[in-house]
Structure 1
Amino acid sequence: MDTTAVLFDRQSGQILSTLTGHSKKVTSIKFVGDTDLVLTASSDKTVRIWGSSEGGNYACKHTLKDHTAEVRAVTVHATNKYFVSASLDSTWCFYDMSSGLCLAQVTDDSEKVDYTAAAFHPDGLILGTGTAQSIVKIWDVKSQANVAKFGGHTGEITSVSFSENGYFLATSALDGVRLWDLRKLKNFRTFDFPNANSVEFDHSGSYLGIAASDIRVFQTASVKAEWNPVKTLPDLSGTGRATCVKFGPDAKYVAVGSMDRNLRIFGLPSNDSTEDSAQDS
């Protein structure tokens, strides 16, 4: 895995900036809303906050060293004023975006778990975390209290994603993908996709993307209605392992990362032609 993060211009496919500074692999990257800020997490135990500088490049504004083990995930609060990092040191940290100050470092005294994934609920009031111990935990952000816990997965949780309406949580793990009803706190659907690396709702909540040996896109529905597949995209890397999936605005395209260190852009779903914009990353 690479120690750098690369920012691309989607239209031209050209590199905008290469973020250099981490000493070990970059594990997570997030854009901060419509701002010029970017967050990166790394196996070097740090989180970095980057901002645009002269010439269109990005410079590191803050290097955060509150964790004592690999940082696996960063997630941005709905206000863009705060973010959370999740680490294998059994803690997650709640940060102020502008200062980089850690406002709270949270651990669960009832059980030791290593955090591997994290996502804010759209309302910003709750946080979902995944663990290496196959457990999904839901937290009250204000009180930092663990308010719910989901079991059932086998293997490490690789990602978590809330639907835009806030009713559903999707989780991926080595055994597949599970959908959870947050109103009843129950698992209502399971997709058997071994080695699922990433799961993501689009911004409208209309689609769910799953990255595993290939990429599947599902039309979201209700708890009782069927979630029907609308697109299956091949893993063009030849590795049989797509590592992440993200939707573009209005779900017009899907960005997919793979083990061959390329980023590919697929048109979705009205555009049946596949736009393979492979970029070395």
Structure 2
Amino acid sequence: VSGEVPDEPVVSKRSGLLFERRLIERYIEDHGKCPVTKEELSMDDIVLVKTNKVVRPRPLQAASIPGLLGIFQNEWDALMLSNFALEQQLHTARQELSHALYQHDAACRVIARLKKERDESRALLALAERQIPASMAGVAPAAVVSNGKRAMEDEIGPDGKKIRPGINPVMIDELTECNTMLSAQRKKRQVPPSLASIDELERYTQISSHPLHKTNKPGILSMDIHPSKDIVATGGIDTNAVLFDRTSGQILCTLAGHSKKVFPPSASDASLIYYF
């Protein structure tokens, strides 16, 4: 059926013809006939032939030196194409990892800022509680100052637990008034005309990408631009400082040797060092 020497030969009891087992089984399942004689044929009419392992002859191309060179060249080309595809995938994975790390760093900064604001709010609230006069406490127990700390007389509730005073109406009125004043100030703020509008930001596109620092420790901590020359100085987590010429798109030099992260550089000082 295939025109080649069968790997697993079988013979038909009715016609005595030799077939490849996998091919004749598929043909019988589809048609139920012999592919040569067109007679009715079933799997019971097929007998497996036991043979020694067949050693396939070499292909015609492998019979000569030019043919072998051609086979090796084809395998080499396939290997190079596969290697190129793997390098492209690796580069894409590194870029995605770099973006993910940048996003993680930004999220950590936001969380740290929120925690700082929370601690400041708690400190202000504690200060406001200490500054409330004892006369405004109403039915609250009188305050007793001992060793620089405010100690309240203990009141025992029905369940046997101490009752601690909360925020009284006077404090709520002060907080509400402060919130109203701050909200009014925020609404009066005007956006500087030098800032780009939302429509302009949506029209921005990426012109080029220049990986200045190593990808095993991605992250640019600081950047500065020379005031008169189009030179950019960057400091990264990889303990390197890089001078980059934006006009030519080339790295002028990489200043290595730092033992820790490189913090904000000055492009003017960096360019002086470079030209020196």
| Band the TM-score falls in, shorter-chain normalisation | under 0.3
Structure having the higher helix fraction is 2
Structure possessing the higher radius of gyration over alpha carbons? 2
What's the TM-score, normalizing by structure 1? 0.27
